[in-house]
Structure 1
Amino acid sequence: MNASRRIALALIAAPLSLGLAACNGDAEGGEVAEGEALDPIAAPEGQQWTDLVQATDEEGYLLGNPDAPIKLIEYGSFTCGACASFVQNGVDELKEDYVNTGLVSFELRNFDRNGIDTTISSIVRCGPDEIFHPLADQVWTNFDTVMTGVQSAQLEGVENLPENQRWVAVASETGLLDFFASRGISRNQAATCLADADAVQGLSERTNTTADELGVTGTPTFFVNGNRVDGTTWDVLEPVLQRAGARSE
């Protein structure tokens, strides 16, 4: 087993930070330029912008108008309480009031802090692109339930299993197979995705490499039009989107 896989597996059983403060990051943000108020952009006939999603080259999933003038990117960890708080308190408003106008696109990229993140990141990609955001939201909406399963799991010795069984065992012991089975990803479907250890670890390494290139050190980290937002909550992010032009005069 290579060093990166040993580290990822070792982190599975590490204590998880469940508070609402930003998770393991303290990078400072920049200033988003103020733009003119923009008129809404119509979605394709018969659709809403929130119906449209596409995978990106950076392993993210972009929701909304791919040509939106205001581009929002979030790096999020599935085991981060602050990320969960953002979904529980702001993501619905973000989608309905900003993404659906066609003015803001929302790309979610995973940042894996531990092996549980790696497991969940792989499962939410088991289905079609369109269900990535809903599944991710389900994890954070039910954060306490998911983390209770994780913290009560017995994961000692998982690193000694054959490679095609390790991540499946993690998902089974933590209750994640059952959690996603009730939300459209069957146990067999999830197990098949997780059995490919090279794909699982490769995904984690690629997503974190992309984050490193942008100086992401914690979650959630937001970028608006390439500028890091100095804050982690919807109350901070919404005025930034408005300043960039997603507002009415």
Structure 2
Amino acid sequence: MSKPKQSTRASSASIQERRKAQLQRQKKKTVILLTVGILLVVVLFAAMFVLASKNTGSPGSPASPVSFPYDKLPRLGAADAPVKLVEFGDFKCPACARFSGEVKPQLVEDYIDKGKAALYFVNMSFLGPDSKTASFAALSVYHQNSEAFWKYYDALYANQGDENTEWATEDFLVELAQKEKIDIDYNLLRKDIKERTYADELADDNAIAENNHVTSTPSLFINGIKTNEPFNLEAIVKAIETASKAVETE
């Protein structure tokens, strides 16, 4: 009688082993399926991100160039120039003074004077209270004599005070215009500074900066596309040439 019992026990143990092996195979399949599912989800989201990046971009990217109100901005060069350069600057910004002294003259010589490009300026007054004061003065000059704006622009940067002090006072700004013989009414300049005549226009300029995620000065856009290297003349020249060719093929 003992032999059948041993056979039954052996049979039961075999069944349990088969069940364990079956459960292990099912677990492995479940793990594999979960892993594949996770990978598919990751790939799907990555593809969606790449597609979204191609279709939409931040303002100033090649996918989403900025459309500026060019006719309302100070302009150096021909209005019909095929390449439009837009500088965001703060008259208290030392880096902007460097741009004015090093980069702008080269752009003027190689492109602006030849009618290939025009330079536009957007006030971005954020470094101090007198950033706004300087912008009020510059806007007053612009509205009195648009051609004199750039001479005053250069004078402001060339005579820039310390970034951490309030040097752009009403007296300083008027006296600088007189010293440089800027062809405007100096009494009107003082009045415009004192009464903040162009406060709304300055607010519009700062809004252009904010709406297009401009957070530092100088920032340079070339036909609506932002360059991340405003001091790299080689990169700027390449971007200008690319923009020029794109206009030609339109």
TM range (shorter): 0.5 to 0.7
Q: Once the two structures are aligned, what percentage of the paired residues are identical?
A: 24
In our comparison, the structure showing a higher alpha carbon Rg is 2
For structure 1, the 5+ residue unaligned runs are 1-26, 33-54, 154-166
- Equivalent residue of 2:189, what SS? helix
Residue 64 (structure 1) shift: 1.4
Whether 1:136 aligns to 2:133 is no
Whether 1:122 aligns to 2:128 is no
- Equivalent residue of 1:147, what SS? coil
CA 1:96 to 1:245, structure 2 compared with 1: closer, same or farther past 3 Å?
same
Aligned twin of 1:202: 200
Residue 188 (structure 1) shift: 2.3
2 CA distance for matches of 1:152 and 1:115? 7
Residue 94 (structure 1) shift: 0.8
Deviation per residue, 1:195-230 (Å, 9 max, x gap): 323x34323211101111221111111111111111
Residue type of the partner of 2:129?
G
Whether 1:238 aligns to 2:237 is yes
Residue 194 (structure 1) shift: 1.6
Aligned positions of 1:1-249 closer than 5 A: 30=61, 56-57=70-71, 59-113=72-126, 114-126=128-140, 127-143=144-160, 146-147=161-162, 151=165, 170-172=169-171, 175-183=172-180, 184=182, 187-197=186-196, 199-235=197-233, 236-245=235-244
- Equivalent residue of 2:174, what SS? helix
2 CA distance for matches of 1:152 and 1:209? 23
2 CA distance for matches of 1:76 and 1:119? 14
Preserved CA contact (<8 Å) 2:136 2:198 = yes
Preserved CA contact (<8 Å) 1:177 1:186 = no
Preserved CA contact (<8 Å) 1:220 1:232 = yes
Preserved CA contact (<8 Å) 1:82 1:232 = no
For structure 2, the 5+ residue unaligned runs are 1-57, 64-68, 246-250
Normalised to the residue count of structure 1, the TM-score between the two structures is 0.62
Deviation per residue, 1:113-164 (Å, 9 max, x gap): 1321211111123231111111111111222xx338x8276xxxxxxxxxxx
Residue type of the partner of 1:83?
C
Residue 74 (structure 1) shift: 0.8
Query: Over aligned residue pairs, what C-alpha RMSD do you find?
Result: 2.8
Aligned twin of 2:15: none
Residue 186 (structure 1) shift: 5.9
2 CA distance for matches of 1:204 and 1:152? 19
CA 1:31 to 1:176, structure 2 compared with 1: closer, same or farther past 3 Å?
same
Aligned twin of 1:15: none
Residue 97 (structure 1) shift: 1.2
CA 1:60 to 1:152, structure 2 compared with 1: closer, same or farther past 3 Å?
closer
CA 1:29 to 1:209, structure 2 compared with 1: closer, same or farther past 3 Å?
closer
Normalised to the residue count of structure 2, the TM-score between the two structures is 0.61
Structure with greater helix share of residues:
2
